[in-house]
Amino acid sequence: MPDKYTYPGTEVLINIPGILDQTLLDNAERNIARARLAELRKAPIPGKFDFPHLQAIHRKLVGDLYSWAGELRTTDTQAMGTGVAHCRPEFIEAFANEVFTGIAADNFLLHLDHHEFAERLAHHWGELTSLHPFRDGNTRSQSTFLDQLVTAAGWEIHWSKLDLDAVKEARVIAISRSSEPLCDLLRPAITARHQRNHE
């Protein structure tokens, strides 16, 4: 079935600059996202850690490239190369409500010990991975959203300590089976923010 998000006969996403080469588009997306992430580190997008908050982050990160930034996708997607399907488009809105209600019910991960924090963070990232609400740019948006959530809860993720390929694989496992492998990867990279001065 043709993908309405791509140029006919290609897998290149239709984009605002009109880039038709996948390598050039990948480079443009990487460079733009890097610049926007630097801006967000200095001035995080305010929000309530709900779906509109995630949508605002997505618009900030890829809005220069894609007209549908922040909008719910209307086509099926799957975790790349795995055959593991993400949430069907017709269920995204309802599942998003469930996911973000769950984050709020966990009191936005406040007042948890280190083990509990890593466990709940992994669970919610697995849920967000399954949701995959946008056609592209989900991982960057989720990482930025969760980084803000982690900071607000008094913790810090040291992303440089993570094997990102292993994290990607563990997120897929979290969709289909268990968030425990993701938790095991995240836990050593998480510290309380006040510990940073003693590292």
Evaluate if pTM is beyond 0.85. Answer: yes
CATH no. of 22-198:
1.10.3290.10
Residue 52: helix, strand or coil by DSSP? helix
Higher-pLDDT residue of 121, 195: 121
Please, is 155 exposed, middle or buried when counting C-beta atoms within 10 Å of its C-beta (0-12, 13-18, 19+)? buried
Distance CA 182, CA 178 (A): 8
Domain-wise residue ranges, the chain: 22-198
Per-residue pLDDT, 3 = 85
Which whole number is the average pLDDT over 161-179? 93
Average pLDDT value over all residues in the chain: 93
**Binning pLDDT at 50, 70 and 90, where does residue 165 land?**
very high
pLDDT digits (tens, 9 = 90+) for 135-146: 999 999 999 999
Per-residue pLDDT, 78 = 87
Per-residue pLDDT, 79 = 81
Distance CA 9, CA 141 (A): 28
**Binning pLDDT at 50, 70 and 90, where does residue 2 land?**
low
Q: Is a pLDDT exceeding 50 seen at residue 196?
A: no
H-helix or E-strand containing 50?
none
E-strand spans in 86-184?
155-157
Radius of gyration of the chain (CA): 17
Other C-beta atoms closer than 10 Å to the C-beta of 38 total: 9
For residue 194, the Cα-to-chain-centroid distance in whole angstroms is 26
**Binning pLDDT at 50, 70 and 90, where does residue 1 land?**
low
E-strand spans in the chain?
155-157, 190-192
Q: Is a pLDDT exceeding 80 seen at residue 130?
A: yes
**Binning pLDDT at 50, 70 and 90, where does residue 5 land?**
very high
User: Are 62 and 137 contacting, i.e. CB atoms less than 8 angstroms apart?
Assistant: yes
pLDDT digits (tens, 9 = 90+) for 51-89: 999 999 999 999 999 999 999 999 999 886 677 889 999
Which CA distances in Å does 18 have to 31, 60, 135?
A: 16, 19, 17
